[in-house]
A and B are shown apart, each in its own frame.
Chain A
Amino acid sequence: MDINEVRTYAKKLMELMMLDKPFVAVKLAKSEGEIPEGYETLEEERRHCEMIQLARLERKKLYATVDKHLCKGGAYAMGVFRNPPEPLATGKLYVKLGNFKDEEAAKKTVEAIPKVEEEIYATVYAPLDETDFVPDSIVFIGEPLYALRLVQAMLYHKGGRFQADFSGIQSLCADAVAAVYTRKAPNMTLGCNGSRKYAGIKPEEVVVAFPPEKLKDIVEAIEYFRQVWTCGH
């Protein structure tokens, strides 16, 4: 799928689902050369989930190298931040933050979090309908009814069951990007304390992410659903 196709499908999907905010295209760039021309980097550090929201709510096109990632846990999950300090790698940090009763529970969770093994130079963000790159993950943030339609659309052609995989930490980074990138499969997640507090993911919003290979099938399915059901409210 090329960039123009991605943009076309993105526009069509927004139209079909009657969305006023775009899906977000996220790319894990392995080198500086993979960052499209004209993409800006931020002056100050921000969290990955905040950068997704900048692309979604303000239609910004941007990228962030390791020094611009404020949330090192997220950057670590996506392969941007290497050799993390011990409290992050072992999960001790999350015990301190109050997520887990003890180190054992934290370790079990941290070990299971999807992680990108390759070294990633930067994360790149754009509204999907205006993207200048083919994304590694397409992120949707919105109400559960829209998430339901997306999940139904992903199962429309081939059936099966959808398995959401999340743990309440490292949500938009590990669950919505690293998991999709490594598995080339969709995922759904409910955000984490960071993304709820700092990125402004609303209480009534959930997150669905999927690889670009699913885009065509989703559009076709939603197009069909529109004929037989009411999509949205």
Chain B
Amino acid sequence: MVRKFSVKGLRSPSLLIDMILSDAKDDILIVETDGEEQIKDIENLLKKYNLKYEVEGNVVKIHVGEIKADKSINVVGATCPGPIMMVSDMLSKMKNGEILEIICGKNALTDLTEGLKGMGNEIISVEEKEDGTYRILVKKGEKKEEEKATVKIDELFIINTTGTGNAEKAYSTFMMADVALKMNLKPTIFLMMDGASLALKGECDKVKHPAFPKLGDLVRDILKKGVKVYVCELSAEFRGINEKNLEDGFEIAGAPTFLNYLSKPNVRPVWL
């Protein structure tokens, strides 16, 4: 069972969680906290019980036992948009709140987690298995209607479709991401169509304009700053690019990731 609750305002959240844990068996507790002080209090308790947990912002996710999924699907080997289609089909037959276990390859990981979140589902956990596949647990939900309100644009989705064929646009892609960071706008880069050519290992190092540093250096700098660079799975496949010859730090993703970014109200797309 997944229990999501808040302990905001409690002086000793660990007391409450201790009581909840005394009855928990195979559960995931998603605990919303006030912040650092409460998280520390909870962490001390969890360490005492040697429980697995993750902290994401102000949320502590506690794993108790082995959570049982209501249904399971294996999409290993399927390529974009296969995995999301198969999983969506399975979820459409499930009730809200039920848990689906998905076994997938690395190629579909981002698409599934991003795509399913965008559809209103909740990703409960993601773990890499010994055989290199991934196990995702997702709780079925539904997309809530957004309230009509002014939304602040705080992310840029930079889409490059020209790749090494247009050096100026290739430079702009990564330089714009750097400027966005300085302006507190979170940039994400998506390489598709000819843009995918930039994802071939070593290719960015071949692009150099006399007035600018080597493109490869800009790319490495941007990756070091935490910017995600996705490459369209089909565009990569078209050009013979795969996990083996993919530029370090780049991630293969597909239509669900792409569309999920485009559908976020706080994201502005930039086409290059």
Binding site for B on A (CB under 8 A): 83, 108-109, 111-112, 114-115, 117-118, 158, 160-163, 165, 167, 179, 182-186, 213
Residues of B with C-beta under 8 A to A186: 19
Asked if A114 and B22 make an inter-chain contact with CB atoms under 8 angstroms apart, the answer reads: no
16 chain-A/chain-B pairs, Cβ below 8 angstroms: A109-B9, A111-B8, A112-B6, A112-B9, A115-B6, A118-B97, A160-B22, A161-B18, A162-B19, A163-B19, A165-B16, A167-B9, A185-B19, A185-B23, A186-B19, A213-B23
**In whole angstroms, how far apart are the Cα atoms of A167 and B23 in the complex?**
26
> Is B96 on the interface with A (CB-CB < 8 A)?
yes
Q: Is B12 an interface residue (CB 8 A)?
A: yes
A182 touching B3, Cβ below 8 Å: yes
Q: Are B5 and A183 in contact (CB under 8 A)?
A: yes
The interface residues of chain B lying within 8 Å CB-to-CB of A115 are 6
| Size class of the B contact interface (CB-based, 8 Å) | 10 to 19
Closest to B16 in A: A163
Q: Answer whether A183 and B18 are a contact pair too, CB < 8 Å, given A111-B8, A112-B9.
A: no
Given the known A-B contacts A183-B16, A184-B3, are A163 and B10 also in contact in the complex, defined by CB atoms under 8 Å? yes
Residue B89, interface by CB 8 Å: no
Counting residue pairs across A and B whose Cβ atoms lie within 8 Å, the total is 51
Residue in B closest to A182 when the chains form the complex, CB atoms: B5
Q: Give the interface centre of B3, B5, B12 by most chain A CB atoms within 10 Å.
A: B5
Give every chain B residue within 8 A of A108 (Cβ-Cβ): 9
Q: A112-B9, A161-B18 are in contact. List 8 more A-B contacts (CB 8 A).
A: A109-B9, A115-B6, A118-B97, A163-B15, A163-B19, A183-B20, A185-B19, A185-B20
Residue B36 at the chain A interface, CB threshold 8 Å? no
Q: Closest CB of chain A to B88's CB: distance in Å?
A: 21
Question: What is the CB-to-nearest-CB distance from B203 to chain A, in angstroms, rounded to a whole number?
Answer: 46
- What 1/0 mask marks residues of chain B from 134 to 171 whose CB sits below 8 Å from any chain A CB? 00000000000001000000000000000000000000
For A185, the chain B residues whose CB sits under 8 A away are 16, 19-20, 23
